[in-house]
Amino acid sequence: MTERPIGRDVIARQRFARLFSLGDRRAPLSWSPGLVLGPNDSELPVSLAPLRSTRSSDSIPATITIRTRGDICYPFDSEDKWVAQEGLVLPPSLVESDSGEFGGGLEAIPVSWNSLHHDESLTVLNTEPSVIILIDAPQLAQRPGMLPRALQATRSRFPSSLIWAPGISGPDNCALLAWMGADLFDLSRSRHSSSLGVLLTESGPRNVEQSLDEDFGMESQCASWAQAVSSTRAAIREGTLRELAERQSMSSPRSVEHLRCHDSMVSESGNTHSVLSSVVNASRRLRCLTYESRNDPLILDWRSRVSEVHVPPAHQRELLVLLPCSAKKPYKLSKSHRRFRRVLRNPFIHEVMVTAPLGLVPRELEDLWPAAHYDIPVSGEWDADELEVIRSMVGRFVSRIGFSKVINHSGIDIDIEGTSVIDTRQGDSAGSGEALARLESATESAELSSGDRKMIVRTRLEVMKSISRFIHGSDAWLEGVSVLGRPPILTIEKDCIQLAKWNPRMGRFSFSKSSLPLLDKLDILPRVSLREEVNWVGDIFSSNAESADGSIRAGDEILVFQVGKLIGSARAVAPGWEWPRGPGRLARARHRL
């Protein structure tokens, strides 16, 4: 009997996490993240638990049977069953050994740490199975770094499949597992907790509270699961899964270890750009509420790019002014920064905000993600780690750019070898009359050799160039252009032809159709290629995508080619690691030539 695939569509995505609708996309019966029920588990709503599984060891190797609990396989006219063989699963410690007997199946495929390293059939498989089962997840979870690596390898190889790591999930870690790439969970730990007389909750296992008539039966265990899955789905939809995963990780040392290993792995992979987003919805917030927030690859990527890559506008490379951040984002809209800017009238001053956890935010970048979107708890005190990050970033930034003088209005003691640093706070609050007077005096007395007043008319263009270098790695497309309009939205034209608009509310350039040939010639934007036989009439999906640059970030503008010819542009919805086989919409069409 031919096994039929689950109908899957992506409702929302965040990094490696996905909110899939399952079944007919017009009327889905279920969603993931969700549950896989065991043979003796209670009946739960299909919307929460779309699958049921059984394992049989009557034969060698053992088999796993997965049944759908609703009509979620195309053409959605009956429930379905898939049978998979486990293969010979060796302990993760024997990874150098090749068992030669790997798991197999059509719509459900068991994989292990051993098969991920040795099963060559996984690399040439042309289909996206409905479910990938990480069969040795309990063993991997006990060894530092192995579970995050296995989940990332599986998710990256099978971006459209539902990933199930049996035996390790609970209401206390489902958001964390989803953050690392898992889609399906089971009740194994809840059944074990019930047998021990404890309740497994979103905060971890605990004794029941008898004064409230709590019990540890499976009905209560399933109620905890329903709440946890609901919270996880909502967090993916709202873009807040990272914060939920951080909170859940505090439930056990092992979960903290998994999150830290995952962060380290993503940051050190060399492909951070293919995982992160460049643009998000204006209402999105990045809530940096725990110590673990500082290890988020998004934060580390920002710090690295600002301190090691970013180049300020050409007229602002002599005098650096360090300012405190503000609760309101972007900073320029805050009352405190309006006061600062009233005394910082010289356009040749480079303003940089000092903040945690980003470290430094140059004024020209304050409208970008995540600088314009982050929230942190404010205590008025800096800890040793925050101070070390800020001082290190300032030192590297000043040395690389070659500022001759630094005016420090941040309130943090900063000493830079070989560079004059003037403290204008001297223990006063940043907005006090005395501190502002010292700030104004220090900037007015600075001797700036770059003070060609003709540069003033070019300041907006130089700022646009600086932003373009940070976002796109080049400003070549801005040569010979004019920057027109009244802020905040600016129009960029060349020879009376509009090339783009700068919209600070979105934190990106919106390129016109006329700019596409120039952007192609200068190799400014990432590229994707469509299949030769398709007629491109809608958005970009795996069904019409052939190949793509691995550097794509979600939110990027991308150039679209077919048979080597530029045919338009699109805006990426999916990051580079998903292309070209990712589920659902990969990019929204923008222009067609």
Beta bridge partners, 131, equal: 108, 162
- Asked if residue 66 belongs to a domain, the reply is yes
Shortest CA distance to 225 belongs to which of 66, 416, 48?
A: 48
Sequence letter at residue 220:
S
Q: Does 143 lie in the same domain as 66?
A: yes
Beta bridge partners, 570, equal: 558, 589
CB 587 within 8 Å of CB 528 = yes
CB 547 within 8 Å of CB 580 = yes
Q: Does 219 lie in the same domain as 327?
A: no
**Is residue 341 classed as helix, strand or coil in its secondary structure?**
helix
- Asked if residue 515 belongs to a domain, the reply is no
Label residues 21-42 b or e (16+ Cβ within 10 Å = b).
Answer: bbbeeeebbbbbbbbbbeeebe
**Per-residue tens of pLDDT for the chain, all 593 residues:** 589 999 999 999 999 999 999 999 999 999 999 999 999 898 999 999 999 999 988 877 889 999 999 999 989 999 999 999 888 887 888 877 776 678 888 999 999 998 888 888 888 788 889 999 999 999 999 999 999 999 999 999 999 999 999 999 999 999 999 999 999 999 999 999 999 999 999 999 999 888 888 899 999 999 999 999 999 999 999 999 999 999 999 989 999 999 999 999 998 866 777 888 988 888 888 888 888 899 999 999 999 999 999 999 999 999 999 999 998 999 999 999 999 999 998 889 999 999 999 999 999 999 999 999 998 887 677 889 999 999 999 999 999 999 999 999 999 999 998 889 999 999 899 999 999 999 999 998 877 655 555 555 578 999 999 999 999 999 999 999 999 998 889 999 999 999 999 989 889 999 999 999 999 999 999 999 999 999 998 899 999 999 999 889 999 999 999 999 999 999 999 999 999 999 999 999 999 99
In angstroms, rounded to a whole number, what is the distance separating the alpha carbons of residues 524 and 390? 31
- Asked if residue 470 belongs to a domain, the reply is no
* Residue-range definition of the domain harbouring residue 229: 8-274
Q: Does 318 lie in the same domain as 239?
A: no
CATH, residue 589: 2.30.130.10
- Asked if residue 61 belongs to a domain, the reply is yes
Name the token pair of 83. Answer: 């049978």
- Asked if residue 407 belongs to a domain, the reply is yes
- Asked if residue 457 belongs to a domain, the reply is no
Q: Does 331 lie in the same domain as 263?
A: no
Q: Does 245 lie in the same domain as 194?
A: yes
Q: Does 374 lie in the same domain as 325?
A: yes
Shortest CA distance to 151 belongs to which of 15, 282, 324?
A: 15
| Residue 105 φ then ψ, to 5° | 175, 180
Query: Could you tell me the pTM of the whole model?
Result: 0.92
Q: Does 255 lie in the same domain as 362?
A: no
- Asked if residue 462 belongs to a domain, the reply is no
Q: Does 219 lie in the same domain as 322?
A: no
Q: Does 429 lie in the same domain as 577?
A: no
| Residue 262 φ then ψ, to 5° | -60, -45
Shortest CA distance to 186 belongs to which of 55, 42, 38?
A: 38
DSSP state of 49: -
Q: Does 327 lie in the same domain as 261?
A: no
| Residue where a domain terminates, one of 274, 294, 327 | 274
CATH, residue 317: 3.40.50.10630
What's the structural domain count of the chain?
3
CB 263 within 8 Å of CB 272 = no
Q: Does 56 lie in the same domain as 199?
A: yes
| Residue where a domain terminates, one of 427, 447, 467 | 447
Q: Does 150 lie in the same domain as 47?
A: yes
